[in-house]
């Protein structure tokens, strides 16, 4: 099954055209993004299809999915809240923020709300330690950053999503 190739043939060709033919494996990241945009995560079938397009083993593509926090190999919420909890952010209250946010949502870190709308994750380094607590939100439309957060400001954002799922 070549769903991505069929549905996004011109986009795939345009992506591949950006790289020399003998270095087409460099197109892995944009093709993974394409798959994730389509399915909400990188399915096993999409991973195999991308590996075939690029003529590389599926394990090499899978390693990228496992390494980068922007790619997922399992479904999650429509909104993925990624809270930075590295040491500088933790010193500014990020760990407590994360715990309280999850408590307010009724889930644990790494879980998705029962309505399937929100997944909360713990990540390292969003490059804004001086503006912590901060988080990024990933959706099919892209990434947005939210700095100098409180649980109240984060929950206000969540309520906007809940009112417009």
pLDDT tens string for the chain (165 positions)?
679 999 999 999 999 999 998 999 999 999 999 999 888 899 999 999 999 999 999 999 999 998 887 898 999 999 999 999 999 999 999 999 999 999 999 999 999 999 999 999 999 899 999 999 999 999 888 889 999 999 999 999 999 999 987
- Confidence (pLDDT) at 1: 65
135 neighbors 81 (Cβ within 8 angstroms) = yes
pLDDT the model gives residue 164: 86
The domains found in the chain, sorted by start residue, are 3-67 (1.10.10.1590), 79-163 (3.40.30.10)
Summarised one tens digit per residue, pLDDT across range 81-107 is 999 999 999 999 999 999 999 999 999
Contact 105, 113 (CB under 8 A): yes
Q: Is 152 helix (H, G, I), strand (E, B) or coil?
A: helix
- Give the global pTM: 0.78
Nearest 10 degrees: Cα torsion 159, 37, 82, 135 = -70
Spatial CB neighbours of 9, under 8 Å, sequence gap ≥ 6: none
| Residue 103: closest CA among 133, 86, 95 | 95
Residue 129: count of CB within 10 angstroms of its CB? 17
């Amino acid at each position: 099954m070549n769903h991505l190739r069929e549905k996004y043939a011109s986009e795939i060709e345009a992506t591949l055209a950006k790289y020399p033919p003998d270095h087409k494996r460099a197109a892995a990241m944009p093709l993974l993004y394409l798959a994730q945009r389509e399915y909400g995560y990188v399915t096993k079938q999409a991973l195999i299809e991308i590996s075939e397009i690029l003529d590389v083993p599926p394990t090499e593509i899978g390693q990228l999915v496992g390494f980068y926090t922007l790619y997922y190999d399992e479904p999650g919420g429509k909104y993925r809240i990624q809270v930075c909890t590295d040491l500088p952010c933790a010193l500014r209250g990020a760990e407590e923020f994360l715990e309280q946010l999850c408590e307010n949502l009724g889930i644990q870190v790494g879980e998705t709300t029962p309505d399937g709308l929100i997944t909360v994750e713990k990540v390292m380094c969003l490059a804004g330690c001086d503006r912590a607590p901060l988080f990024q939100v990933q959706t099919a439309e892209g990434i947005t950053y939210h700095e100098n957060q409180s649980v109240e400001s984060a929950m206000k954002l969540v309520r906007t999503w809940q009112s417009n799922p």
